[in-house]
Amino acid sequence: MKTTYTFLLILFFTATATTAAAGGQVVAYDVKGEAFEGYFTSPADNAPLVLLIHDWDGLTDYEVKRADMLAEKGYAVFAADLFGAGVRPTEVKDKRQHTGELYKDRERMRSLIVGALDAARARGARVNNAVAMGYCFGGAAVLEFARSGADMKGFVTFHGGLSAPEGQDYGKTRGKLLILHGTADTNITMDHFAMLANALEEKGAPHEMIAYGGAPHAFTVFGSDRYRKDADEKSWKRFGEFLEETLR
């Protein structure tokens, strides 16, 4: 969940693929003939890459803001689109529909993330020196990608979905995992948090898991009544440290 920065939405997502905004560009790309619209920013050639996956609102100005914040730290960022060009749901029923379709079709979810990486590669991004991260639904998608055995150096979730479908595990996971969660999250509870810890330990997947006291679901979303400044700043700091440790 996130609030909407109306001006930025208009600026970024009515733009063409070559329109620059806040140092980045809206990027039109295809995955198996379907149209998608991401956002790419890079402060320098050969910068390490962060692949950013949106929450259930789709790719909006929130992810663009986070991408620009990462670019200021020296990282290239490709903010993926898993819903399709122009699909930015605002009603809860529509958000549930679009996320539900991908939860039911995990192969499609994975292929769309691979398609976003391909689009990043086409922009000159260093996909062999990359970390995937996501918020809420995006966090669940990142863990799905981790379980697929994707060749990424790290996987990071902020208040993301933590459950795995039956029959999936972390035996193929190749990168380090960083899980940033809130103990007051009633959507994804500390029971889910503990289950994930056990699943990662069982398969020997390198991981770090941090829970922030009093932080509800979506605690990083600026302007929301769920926003928790302390948890947001601490989790962002640890994320920055993780990137420094993981990417070269």
User: What are the extents of the domains in the chain?
Assistant: 6-246
Q: Provide the 3-class DSSP secondary structure of residue 160.
A: coil
Q: What is the pLDDT of residue 1?
A: 53
Is the pLDDT confidence value at 183 over 70?
yes
pLDDT tens-digit series, residues 204-233: 999 999 999 999 999 999 999 999 999 999
DSSP strands (E only) in 90-189: 126-135, 154-158, 176-182
Report CA-CA distances (Å) from 17 to 8, 10, 222.
16, 14, 27
Print burial letters for 152-187: b (CB count within 10 Å at least 16), e (below 16): bbbbbbbbbbbebeeeeebeebebbbbbbbbebbee
| Segment 110-156, tens digit of pLDDT | 999 999 999 999 999 999 999 999 999 999 999 999 999 999 999 99
What does the angle CA 231 – CA 69 – CA 221 come to, to the nearest 5 degrees?
Answer: 40
In DSSP terms, 52 is beta-bridged to: 79, 133
Determine the pLDDT at residue 116: 98
pLDDT tens-digit map of 34-86: 999 999 999 999 999 999 999 999 999 999 999 999 999 999 999 999 999 99
Q: How does strand 34-41 pair with strand 76-79?
A: antiparallel
pLDDT at residue 2 in the model: 54
Instruction: Give the number of other Cβ atoms within 10 Å of residue 9's Cβ.
Output: 15
To 5 degrees, how large is the angle CA 182–CA 136–CA 218? Answer: 50
At residue 248 the predicted structure's pLDDT band, cuts being 50, 70 and 90, is: confident
Question: How many Å apart are CA 81 and CA 224, to the nearest integer?
Answer: 22
| Reported CATH class of domain 6-246 | alpha beta
